[in-house]
Chains A and B, each alone.
Chain A
Amino acid sequence: MENFIQVVVNGTLISGLYALIAVGLTLIFGVMRVINFAHGEFMMLGGYTTYWLFVLLRLDPLLSLLISMVVLAGLGLIVQRCLINPVLGASSLNQILLTFGLAIILQNVAMILWTSDYVSVQTWYSTHSLRVGFVRISVAKLGIFFMAIILMMLLGIILKKTETGKVLRAVSQDPQTAQLMGIDINRAYMIAFAIGTGLAGLAGAATSTVMSIFPTVGVEFIMKAFAIVVFGGLGSVAGACLASFILGVTESLVGTYVPGGGGWAEAVSFTVLILVLIFRPKGIFSS
């Protein structure tokens, strides 16, 4: 029983990170109908931003988290304007090739600039853990988890209550009619892309404190993020949050209780992806 609680806690904590990545991806898809294969690379760049701010300016990740988010949102804006926008009208194959190519370019640029060595940010809270009874809770991961929850709630409020949020939802539901409302959809695309890459940057920054950053770190995450996005229903922010949680805990349970589970845990996301695509292509939470 003690072990079981620990396992669920582990899974829950990791799901916050999953949500940060997956929600950005699903938002971009929902609004723009573009699958951003370079999403993991934005995360990687966010990690390096935090890392270099730490190494060069001794800036604590708690502060540089926000800088990384802003930097990556800005980079997202540029990428959206210069690269994604021109192919928005093109076939989805072109869009996939573009974002996929971008991912590979970013990986290679990172490899050239920073080599393929693993880097991470060492702070007192990186490996510090709280003891709650018999359960150990990593301080950094707990922080990331709460940050993710707060951000998701904030994003929920923005989408629900603000004019910009309503604009984003309108564009995702019916871009043509949205234009008839006087909505500048290019602006909406830019906002969605910037929010998405900003969240990815934040996820990368968080990752650099509890794990490692390297040029292909995004590849590891993006596959799970896709599974989560499909699982939660393409474009659904709430679905992605719930799917992150379910996936995180399931992986943790499988990893701990299935014999030889270390390999199986990684397969959970793919199994989920395949099953959902076969049986519930609109995601499990769709009505």
Chain B
Amino acid sequence: MLKVDAIDSYYGDSQVLSGISFEVGEKEIVAIVGNNGAGKTTILKSVVGLVHPRRGSILFKGISIEHLPAHKISEMRVSLVPEGRCVFPLMTVLENLELGSHIPSARKQRKTNLEKVFAYFPVLASIKMRAAGKLSGGEQQMLALARGLMSDPELLILDEPSLGLAPIVVGEIFEIILSIHRQGKTILLVEQNTNIALSISDRAYVLSEGRITMQGKGQSLLHDDRVRKAYLGL
């Protein structure tokens, strides 16, 4: 579904990514793990068009998208749930969700999608008129996820969904992610929490200093000594 081929990305003049290649297949859940500053978020920004790679290509369902502006890529039903939630703080939960279905194809389905996400996140239904900025961290993460789902994406991309959340809430969030996956969604996941990321993913890539250093099945990487030493602190 998504094929990233040898991209180099820069912030200004400093190169952040070099020769990154990876793939996400239909209905797969793929994780990219690595330390803080390894370039994980930049990969995602390159995919969704917030950063344009200087070299390399990105194909989504066979169409090259590396030069498209972010909103065009969103319209192709690629949905990124950004790091740190980034809900619209002064808007209500409901308004946030409505914006999640801003793209024309989703706007028609707004009502049904809304019912679907409220089924995943019943708590959101009960606080839908509250300003998003006033929610707790866990609620905001749920809202961000729900908002990402509102466009009924073909590819759901999650950037650090566990960041800053209490362990118990992290568990809850990943439960939901798994159930979303089971419904047939393709998911690309970036996580610092290597343990949980590798344990739920079909395949995973390890990123270090802007390069992919290892790749493999989630479970096998989880048991790889090098990974355990470098990322799991074991």
Contacts and interface: CB of A to CB of B under 8 A. Distances in A.
B86 A181 contact: no
A180 B82 CA distance: 9
Interface string A162-196: 01001101100110111111111100000000000
Interface string B81-104: 010001011110001001110110
Interface in B16-73: 48-50, 69-71
Contacts of A185: 71
Contacts of A183: 71, 99, 102
B95 A166 contact: yes
Interface in A183-213: 183-185
B74 A182 contact: yes
B74 A180 contact: yes
Given A163-B102, A167-B102, A170-B99, A177 B88 contact: yes
Q: Interface residues of A toward B: which range?
A: 10 to 19
A173 B98 contact: no
A176 B98 contact: no
B114 to A, nearest CB: 14
Contact of B82 (A169, A173, A177): A177
A173 B88 contact: yes
Interface in B180-219: none
A170 B82 contact: no
A181 B90 contact: no
B75 interface: yes
Contact of B88 (A169, A179, A184): A169
B91 A180 contact: no
Contact of A173 (B69, B71, B91, B103): B91
A180 B48 contact: yes
Contacts of B89: 173
B113 interface: no
B71 A184 contact: yes
A172 B107 CA distance: 21
B164 to A, nearest CB: 17
A250 to B, nearest CB: 28
A170 B82 CA distance: 15
A85 B86 CA distance: 25
A165 to B, nearest CB: 10
A179 to B, nearest CB: 4
Contacts of A181: 71, 74, 99-100, 102-103, 147, 151
Given A173-B91, A180-B48, A166 B71 contact: no
B160 to A, nearest CB: 14
Nearest to A184: B71
Contacts of B141: none
Given A166-B95, A180-B82, A181-B74, A173 B90 contact: yes
B80 interface: yes
A182 B75 contact: yes
B9 interface: no
Nearest to B74: A182
A177 B88 CA distance: 8
Interface in B135-155: 147, 151
14 contacts: A169-B90, A169-B91, A170-B88, A174-B88, A176-B50, A176-B86, A179-B74, A180-B48, A180-B79, A181-B103, A181-B151, A183-B99, A184-B69, A184-B71
Given A166-B91, A182-B71, 5 more contacts: A169-B90, A170-B88, A178-B99, A179-B70, A180-B50
Which 5 pairs across A and B sit closest by C-beta, in order of nearness? A182-B74, A182-B103, A179-B70, A177-B86, A173-B88
Interface of B: 48-50, 69-71, 74-75, 79-80, 82, 86, 88-91, 95, 98-100, 102-103, 107, 147, 151
